Structure 1
């Protein structure tokens, strides 16, 4: 009879325990929203894109057509297409160049001879008279005795020689002239930025190319794959990754006088968050990377946490990038559209799309937790709070 009584009392306590657990469950059911989490769930992202508070944010499912269109827009304009490969320029004298002029006279030439005594003592041969070096003035002129002011800017040395000979006819005996450019201060390119020595590089008739100028400046100071080269020619400004110039000889264009080369160290980066191997900002090459590469550099998806259907890319996109699904389209003050791209990695075809989808600078990659993870966290909290309540009710009296 005693044993039967104990069983009855125990059976009477079971509803009390269940009631305690049920009460705790109800108390916590309203707290699911503030369970510890690394970010929104898949459903929360969908709801945010459609909410009135965040209206206009575009939620776009990644597919082949979206990836192709974005990749086509990212196509770089090549130096060879935008600027042109170019050819070595004809060697012309310019303002600021330092030139030397020498004149020969056939005997008995006397125009430039020092004195008659020198003529008597010297053998009968042509005589050379070198004039002091001169810098071409702002008007493009130099001065030659008996010939006067000579326009040299924009002309080749051979043209200047012929002009001086013509002016000396009748004054000198069968004059011959040689014009040399001692210092080229006009036909130069300027190299600045992340190079060992910023400098002005003189051009020669050989035709210096882009990489020649960088080498003359001592090379770049940062890793090649993180460098961008900008060429400024007049009002035209064009830039390309240095790695592309090295790999494609057509982009190693011939430089023109007045070109400015700027070596830019502008490391691009994306931020990866959520259920991945690591949460951090990751730098990538100026050449660019794909979504698949970005996920790999973030340590991939965690098997125990990640929802493969919830891979998101948060980006401020150009207004004309796509045909936006939500109207009206929300834009930032600088005309960008906030977009959330979603990839479903449960679909094997999405891995091919991820290989062609380009990651942009300042993108945020986020991988949501699987629903089972949220449930597990919720049950862990319930059991943590319910266990002491259950144990305070003894099985026996």
Structure 2
């Protein structure tokens, strides 16, 4: 009678056992593909969305530090070699035009020289244009052009940096790495830092560490760029017979199944089944088709099986890449359920004996 009661009641456990997971396979009319991880599966499943800069960012040339841009402010000094000058006041040999601002279309206005294209030119090029135009009206004019502080060549740096703010694009800070250095560097673990650039309607993002993998990643900046540094938001969930059951953020750019298990305290030495380590994931259609060799429609539920007792099981798990949103689940060993059953029986018999003794029967 007691055995019947126990078999009729569900014993407490951390989740489904191996048999129940395999029963959910498509091969058994379930709704997920259950795949044993091997080298082939590892090679396909390791594909993950990559971060990086598009060609538009990578191919952008560095802007010269003397290139004038809309919003910049110039200072002009004009010298004339005549007593009655065109611009210079009588009795003086020069006139100073302070704070001539480049308008939104990239032009400045100089008396007697007219409207001049400044944006995209250097101060030297602008000097030559003004000199040429004034030379038709006054003999041998001499012109000096200086670039003053302007608001057209700046970027904003925000997020997890030590000194957020708006910074000018100057000779030492014309590229991304140097600009981040000017902002004091990142204030979080570089391994989980992600750097995003917003340029008009275009956005690109890269891992901070990847900036140093190739010189091309140190992209040239443009006025108006927004640089944002944030911590990586990827995570996985660990459940079952592990040291702890929790949602775990990524602490490195990549993490393997072995590292994921170690992060939550490893397998429970008292309850875990090392042949029953599962990773639950929804795979994109293209990857799922490669895995199962079938024509599929839409994302597919895939359950990856890792057996750590096999000769190469540890190597396979070490090479299996965990992705954002994965659930790592470790089943209980078969003897654990047996022990729970025995404990339930023993506890029930003890309770019956206690009731009998208390009633005096």
| Paired positions, count | 355
Give the superposition deviation at 1:264. 2.2
- Bigger Cα displacement from structure 2, 358-367 vs 319-328: 319-328
Aligned to 1:40, what secondary structure does the other structure show? coil
Aligned to 1:43, what secondary structure does the other structure show? helix
Q: TM-score, normalised by structure 2?
A: 0.86
The RMSD of aligned alpha carbons is 3.0
Aligned twin of 1:264:
230
Aligned twin of 1:84:
58
Q: Unmatched 5+ residue regions in structure 1?
A: 1-22, 120-126
Counterparts of 1:378 and 1:328, CA distance in 2: 45
1:293 and 1:129, CA in 2 relative to 1: closer, same or farther beyond 3 A? same
1:155 and 1:389, CA in 2 relative to 1: closer, same or farther beyond 3 A? closer
Which residue among 258, 268, 289 is the counterpart of 1:302? 268
Aligned residue runs from structure 1 range 134-173, under 5 A: 134-173=100-139
Are 2:215 and 1:215 aligned? no
Aligned twin of 2:255:
289
Give the superposition deviation at 1:165. 0.7
CA-to-partner distance for each residue in 1:256-279, whole Å, 9 max, x for gaps?
344332212233221111111111
Counterparts of 1:80 and 1:325, CA distance in 2: 32
The 8 Å contact of residues 241 and 286 in structure 1, kept in 2 or not, is answered as no
Give the superposition deviation at 1:46. 0.9
Aligned to 1:321, what secondary structure does the other structure show? helix
Aligned residue runs from structure 1 range 13-92, under 5 A: 23-31=1-9, 34-50=10-26, 55-71=30-46, 73-74=47-48, 76-79=50-53, 83-84=57-58, 86-90=60-64, 91-92=66-67
Q: TM-score, normalised by structure 1?
A: 0.79
The 8 Å contact of residues 61 and 343 in structure 1, kept in 2 or not, is answered as yes
Counterparts of 1:389 and 1:260, CA distance in 2: 73
Task: Using CA pairs under 8 Å that are at least 6 residues apart, name the structure with larger relative contact order, 1 or 2.
Answer: 1
1:326 and 1:167, CA in 2 relative to 1: closer, same or farther beyond 3 A? closer
Counterparts of 1:294 and 1:112, CA distance in 2: 75
- Bigger Cα displacement from structure 2, 265-274 vs 105-114: 105-114
Aligned twin of 1:347:
310
1:390 and 1:142, CA in 2 relative to 1: closer, same or farther beyond 3 A? closer
Aligned residue runs from structure 1 range 308-323, under 5 A: 308-323=274-289
Q: Unmatched 5+ residue regions in structure 2?
A: none
- Bigger Cα displacement from structure 2, 93-102 vs 133-142: 133-142
The 8 Å contact of residues 89 and 207 in structure 1, kept in 2 or not, is answered as no
Which residue among 216, 219, 240 is the counterpart of 2:206? 240
Counterparts of 1:376 and 1:51, CA distance in 2: 32
